[in-house]
C-alpha cells in the first residue's frame, strides 16, 4: 500500500520534476518528437537531485486540443521505452486507462488534475494501492479551465478540497494514499492563483501538499524570483514543488 509519509521520507529533494511527452506543451519542452533525449533528461534530473518525475502525455494548457486514448497510450509507450527504474514516477493524466497502464509499469502515483471526479480513476488508484494527487476543482465547474466566482478563494478552495477528499475516502481509497494540489492556474484568475500561492501555508496539515506554479503567468504578479517562490513554498511546509527543469 502506497503511503505518502513513507514515500516522501525516501526523497532527498522536494522537487517534483515535470516531463512532457507532448508536441504542444505551453512551455515548449515537450519530448514527443525527440524521445531519444529522454536519457539526457534523466541525467539532468540526477544532476539537479530530482528523484521524482511527473510524466504527462497530453497538454492541459487553456484551449488545449483533446488527445484520444490511443494517442495518449502511444505517447506513454514511447516514454516507457526509455524509463529509468532508478527514479520515481507519477503519471499526469485524468484518463483511468492511461493511469492503469502507467501503474503497471513502474509508476507509483497518479496526478489527476481533473479533481478525481471519475469513479473509474478512483477505483484504478484503489486497485493498484497507488498514491493519488487530488487537484482542486469546484464541483460546479464543467471543465478544468472554467472560471468560478469565489466569495473567498482560500476558504472556498479549502472547502472544495475537503469535499473532494471525502468522496475519494468514501470510495475506498485510504487516507495515506492522498495528497492535495491547489490547482494553481486552473479555473482561477491570475489574481486568485497568486493569492493562493501566497497563502500555501494555510493548506499545509492533514494531507501532503503539492504546489505547481512553474512557468505560469500569474507568478509575475508576485514580483518574486523562481528561487524566492521555491523558498517560500519550502518555508511554508509544502511537501512537493512541481517544477519544470528542461529548457
pLDDT tens-digit series, residues 4-35: 999 999 999 999 999 999 885 555 567 888 89
Per-residue pLDDT at 36 exceeds 80: yes
Instruction: Please list, in sequence order, all residues whose beta carbon lies within 8 angstroms of the beta carbon of residue 24, skipping any fewer than 6 positions away.
Output: 30, 59, 61, 64, 65
pTM of structure? 0.93
What's the CA gap between 45 and 10, in Å, rounded?
A: 16
Mean pLDDT score, 158-185: 96
Please report where in the chains the cell 487553456 appears, as a residue: 62
Q: Using a pLDDT cut of 90, give the percent of the chain over it.
A: 79
- What is the DSSP secondary-structure string of the chain? ---HHHHHHH-S--EEEEEE--S--TTS---TT-GGGHHHHHHHHHHTT--EEEEESS--STTPPP--HHHHHHHHHHHHTT--TTSEEEEE-S-HHHHHHHHTTT--EEEETT-S--HHHHHHHHHHT-EEEEE---TT-SSTT-----SSHHHHHHHHHHHHHHHHHHTT--GGGEEEE--TTSSS-HHHHHHHHHTGGGG-SSS-EEE--TT-GGGGGGT--HHHHHHHHHHTT-SEEEEE---
Q: How far is CA 165 from CA 52, 116, 120, 149, in A?
A: 23, 9, 16, 22
Q: With bands split at pLDDT 50, 70 and 90, how would you rate the model's confidence at 197? A: very high
Q: Give the cell for residue 97.
A: 486507462
Q: What is the pLDDT of residue 162?
A: 96
Mean pLDDT score, 31-45: 93
Closest by CA to 149, choosing from 192, 118, 178, is: 192
Say if CB 126 and CB 119 are below 8 A apart.
no
26 or 156, greater pLDDT? 156
Instruction: Please list, in sequence order, all residues whose beta carbon lies within 8 angstroms of the beta carbon of residue 168, skipping any fewer than 6 positions away.
Output: 116, 122, 132, 134, 178
* Bridge partners of residue 244, in order along the sequence: 18
Tell me the backbone φ, ψ of residue 57, rounded to 5 degrees: -110, 5
Closest by CA to 182, choosing from 206, 152, 203, 167, is: 203
What's the CA gap between 209 and 240, in Å, rounded?
A: 7
Per-residue pLDDT at 174 exceeds 60: yes
Say if CB 158 and CB 203 are below 8 A apart.
yes
Q: Give the least confident one: 41-50, 87-96, 139-148, 159-168.
A: 139-148
Amino acid at each position: 500500500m502506497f503511503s505518502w509519509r513513507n514515500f516522501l521520507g525516501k526523497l532527498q529533494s522536494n522537487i517534483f520534476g515535470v516531463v512532457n511527452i507532448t508536441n504542444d506543451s505551453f512551455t515548449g519542452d515537450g519530448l514527443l518528437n525527440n524521445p531519444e533525449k529522454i536519457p539526457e533528461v534523466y541525467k539532468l534530473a540526477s544532476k539537479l537531485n530530482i528523484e521524482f518525475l511527473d510524466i504527462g502525455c497530453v497538454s492541459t494548457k487553456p484551449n488545449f486540443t483533446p488527445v484520444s486514448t490511443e494517442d495518449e497510450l502511444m505517447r506513454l509507450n514511447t516514454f516507457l521505452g526509455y524509463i529509468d527504474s532508478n527514479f520515481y514516477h507519477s503519471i499526469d493524466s485524468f484518463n483511468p486507462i492511461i493511469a492503469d497502464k502507467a501503474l503497471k509499469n513502474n509508476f507509483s502515483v497518479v496526478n489527476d488534475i481533473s479533481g478525481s471526479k471519475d469513479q473509474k480513476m478512483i477505483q484504478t488508484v484503489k486497485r493498484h494501492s497507488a498514491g493519488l494527487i487530488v487537484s482542486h476543482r469546484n464541483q460546479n465547474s464543467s471543465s478544468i479551465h472554467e472560471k468560478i466566482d469565489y466569495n473567498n478563494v482560500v476558504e472556498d478552495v479549502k472547502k472544495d478540497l475537503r469535499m473532494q477528499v471525502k468522496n475519494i475516502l468514501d470510495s475506498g481509497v485510504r487516507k495515506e494514499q492522498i495528497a492535495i494540489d491547489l490547482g494553481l492556474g486552473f479555473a482561477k484568475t491570475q489574481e486568485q492563483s497568486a493569492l493562493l500561492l501566497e497563502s500555501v501555508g494555510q493548506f499545509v496539515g492533514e494531507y501532503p501538499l503539492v504546489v505547481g506554479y512553474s512557468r505560469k503567468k500569474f507568478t509575475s504578479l508576485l514580483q518574486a524570483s523562481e528561487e524566492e517562490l521555491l523558498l517560500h513554498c519550502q518555508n511554508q511546509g509544502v511537501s512537493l514543488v512541481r517544477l519544470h527543469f528542461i529548457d
